[in-house]
Amino acid sequence: MKKVKDKAIEAGKESLSYYHNHKFDKRYDELIKLAREDNPFPVTTEKKRGRKKKGKILALVERLDNYKASVCLLIHNFMVPFDNNQAERDIRMIKVKTKVSGCFRNEEGARDYLKIMSYVGTAHKQGHNAYEAIRNAITGCPEFIFE
């Protein structure tokens, strides 16, 4: 999916053709069907109340089937990235901070930290020096970041 999407973007297209969308949807459904056949519900002889246990694999297959539209959104909407790595990197920074410091003293301190890191992250993503961005924000002229 990613390779076909990347080729379409390079060719200047804004979406995949009906043929490719249909082909990927059909293949996705086939893979879900194969996964269900390879991982059937476990057979239990005892009568127990509540939901039957599925196991990790069957639960994953069921989630992939239930959320097919979200999983395949990247081929229908080119604005959706293939992975979520940037968001995970942004979250990792606060996790490291809490591991090192133990915790934030209060919620307001955590919010302030996140505002600053968001500002620094934006500056970095736009190719600006983090130190210069903070200095300009403190001196009252942060506009250069959002030009």
Q: Which of 98, 125, 121, 120 shows the shortest CA–CA distance to 110?
A: 98
Global pTM reads 0.58
Digits of tens for pLDDT over the chain (147 positions)?
A: 888 888 888 888 888 888 888 999 999 999 999 999 998 877 777 777 777 777 888 999 999 999 999 888 888 888 888 877 777 777 777 777 777 777 778 888 888 888 888 888 888 888 888 888 888 888 887 666 555
Q: What is the pLDDT of residue 132?
A: 86
Q: What is the pLDDT of residue 143?
A: 65
Handedness of CA 123, 124, 126, 129 (dihedral sign): positive
Q: What is the pLDDT of residue 107?
A: 84
Residue 15 is encoded by which pair of tokens? 């979406």
Q: How far is CA 123 from CA 7, 116, 117, in A?
A: 30, 11, 10
Q: What is the pLDDT of residue 144?
A: 60
Beta-carbon count within 10 A of 94 CB: 14
Angle formed by the axes of helices 85-101 and 107-125, nearest 10°: 140
Q: How far does Cα 39 stand from its chain's mean position? A: 27
